[in-house]
Amino acid sequence: MKRKFEMDEIVRYCNQYGFIFQGSELYGGLANTWDYGPLGTRLKNNIKDAWRYYFIQSRENSYELDSDILMNPTVWEASGHLAGFTDPLLDCKGCNTRHRADNLLNEYNSSMNADFMSQEEMMIYIREHKVPCPKCGKSNFTDIRQFNLMFATQRGVTQDSSNTIYLRPENAQGEYVNYLNVLRTMRAKLPFSIGQIGKAFRNEITPGNFTFRTIEFEQMEFQTFCKQGIDSETYEFYKNYGIRFFEYLGLSQENLRFHNHEKLAHYAKEACDIEYLFPFGWGEINGTHNRTDFDLTRHQQYSGKPMDYYDEITGKKYIPYIIESTYGLDRIFLALLFENLHEEEIAENDTRIVLNIAPKLAPIKANILPLIKKKHSNQATEIYHILQKMMMVSYDESGSIGKRYRRGDAIGIPLCNYNR
Ligand code: GAP
């Protein structure tokens, strides 16, 4: 008998085995921040390596970038984030809790979709239907205000708005503002891609579900620059490529689905998410967008620098279209734990935890366990030192052999796990 883990068990497991700890735990924590421990860091790095292999190394004309988190603030004007990267918020005057108006309505009436309502329509609906606060039950809200999700900080010594800069809310803009640099230095020809792994920050008003929605997270973003006309087929290709990538990581097909967007972002011609079936429901782990020539056209306008591509075959210049496929690293990490972590009953009243993760992702690849310490430890240490040059290995000579095997099973070590 195998039993999957629930969310609270995953959180405990991560803490117990050194995958994820509460951020700033020593000082009582900081809500919705998480620190990856030694095994979590290994697993995260292995997911990144798998992504690098799948998106950079094994593809033609695909280049990796590592751009700065802090960017010239005009980038965020050009991208539309300063004006439009907002959530509609309102406060309950009864208990001082803050809510997203669209979430409030969707939860109040599950048959409606507030995503399609304007700010005014939401306010009228809340007042007319006396929608209650989920915390105190009163219906006494402030007006809706648009709340920008970007974290602002100050550059330099004076507290002056001209020094305000932002922690990036997405990786993508770093790839767009370096498009000409990559084109020039890699002598790239369309279609080509720029990928980047890095942190993004969002002042989310409703974070939660462990690492699913946090204020600091990591994205693996992949932008393909192509000619208008092949944009839709490129978009279809990367939607499907995403499913193949998830299968390559070991997520099963029945837990994955596409969710096509009906309401499109201002820059998108077509958009789709890949969702994973978490214990709390379907949740987005990837998004693919046809962003048209919106971003490069805006950067051309705001920077004054031409962004067009010279097509040697046709002799014409044009601004490429961008197909973006972006992956949430922390969410994929969580999905992999839900997919692969089980409690198994091996005899009456005897269970063991097994992390049945793909060997390429396993934090530790081999477990060296001398059966009898006095007798085998010299030879075992020798083997450990040989293997250590090639892979992550662990050495454990303390406690009963059964307990040592169990720990290896629990953290997904593929070599030396008995019963594998
Ligand atoms: N450049 C496009 C972009 O950023 P997004 O759908 O807002 O698109 C991409 O984010 C991915 O980043 C999502 O599919 C999700 O996996 C992850 N993500 C977004 N917000 C997140 C958050 N608050 N916490 C953890 N992961 C998040």
C-beta separation of 411 from 354 below 8 A: no
Q: How far is CA 276 from CA 147, 212, 255, 328, 334, in A?
A: 28, 11, 5, 12, 10
The separation between CA 414 and the C-alpha centre of its own chain, rounded to angstroms, equals 26
- Residue 101's φ and ψ, nearest 5 degrees, are -60, -40
Indicate whether residue 81 lines ligand 1 (CB < 6 A).
Answer: no
Indicate whether residue 214 lines ligand 1 (CB < 6 A).
Answer: yes
Which pair of tokens denotes residue 88? Answer: 């509609």
Indicate whether residue 223 lines ligand 1 (CB < 6 A).
Answer: no
C-beta separation of 86 from 149 below 8 A: yes
- How far is ligand 1, taken at its centre, from the CA of residue 328, in Å? 6
- Residue 281's φ and ψ, nearest 5 degrees, are 120, -175
String of DSSP letters for 59-95: STTEEEE---SB--THHHHHHTHHHH-EEEEEEBTTT
364-417 maps to which CATH number?
3.40.50.800
Which pair of tokens denotes residue 220? Answer: 């693996």
The Cα–Cα gap between 121 and 99 comes to 16
- How far is ligand 1, taken at its centre, from the CA of residue 168, in Å? 12
pLDDT of residue 117: 86
Which of 331, 333, 334, 336 to probe ligand 1 with, by most ligand atoms within 8 A of CB?
331
Which pair of tokens denotes residue 180? Answer: 């000409």
Which of 75, 284, 333 to probe ligand 1 with, by most ligand atoms within 8 A of CB?
284
Q: Which of 327, 321, 398, 301 is nearest to 52 (CA)?
A: 327
- Counting atoms of ligand 1 from 1, which one is nearest the CA of 172? 1
pLDDT tens track, the chain, 420 positions: 889 999 999 999 999 999 999 999 999 999 999 999 999 999 999 999 999 999 999 999 999 999 999 999 999 999 999 998 998 999 999 999 989 999 899 889 988 888 778 889 999 999 999 999 999 999 999 999 999 999 999 988 766 667 899 999 999 999 999 999 999 999 999 999 999 999 999 999 888 899 999 999 999 999 999 999 999 999 999 999 999 999 999 999 999 999 999 888 888 999 999 999 999 999 999 999 999 999 999 999 999 999 999 999 999 999 999 999 999 999 999 999 999 999 999 888 899 999 999 999 999 999 999 988 888 889 999 999 999 999 999 999 888 888 999 999 999 999 984 443
3-state class (DSSP) for residue 12: helix
CATH architecture of 2-80+154-338: 2-Layer Sandwich (3.30)
301 contact partners, CB below 8 Å, separation of at least 6: 78
3 contact partners, CB below 8 Å, separation of at least 6: 342, 343, 344, 345
The Cα–Cα gap between 234 and 320 comes to 13
The Cα–Cα gap between 17 and 37 comes to 9
C-beta separation of 59 from 193 below 8 A: yes
- How far is ligand 1, taken at its centre, from the CA of residue 208, in Å? 14
0.85 exceeded by the pTM? yes
Indicate whether residue 169 lines ligand 1 (CB < 6 A).
Answer: no
The Cα–Cα gap between 405 and 345 comes to 15
- Counting atoms of ligand 1 from 1, which one is nearest the CA of 212? 25
Indicate whether residue 325 lines ligand 1 (CB < 6 A).
Answer: no
- How far is ligand 1, taken at its centre, from the CA of residue 153, in Å? 21
What CATH topology corresponds to 86-148? Herpes Virus-1 (3.30.40)
- How far is ligand 1, taken at its centre, from the CA of residue 314, in Å? 37
Locus of tokens 């100050």: 154
327 contact partners, CB below 8 Å, separation of at least 6: 51, 219, 220, 221, 222, 242, 245, 285, 286
User: By alpha-carbon position, which residue is closest to atom 3 of ligand 1?
Assistant: 170
Q: How many CB atoms lie within 10 A of CB 130?
A: 9
Indicate whether residue 46 lines ligand 1 (CB < 6 A).
Answer: no
Give the domain ranges of the chain. 2-80+154-338, 86-148, 364-417
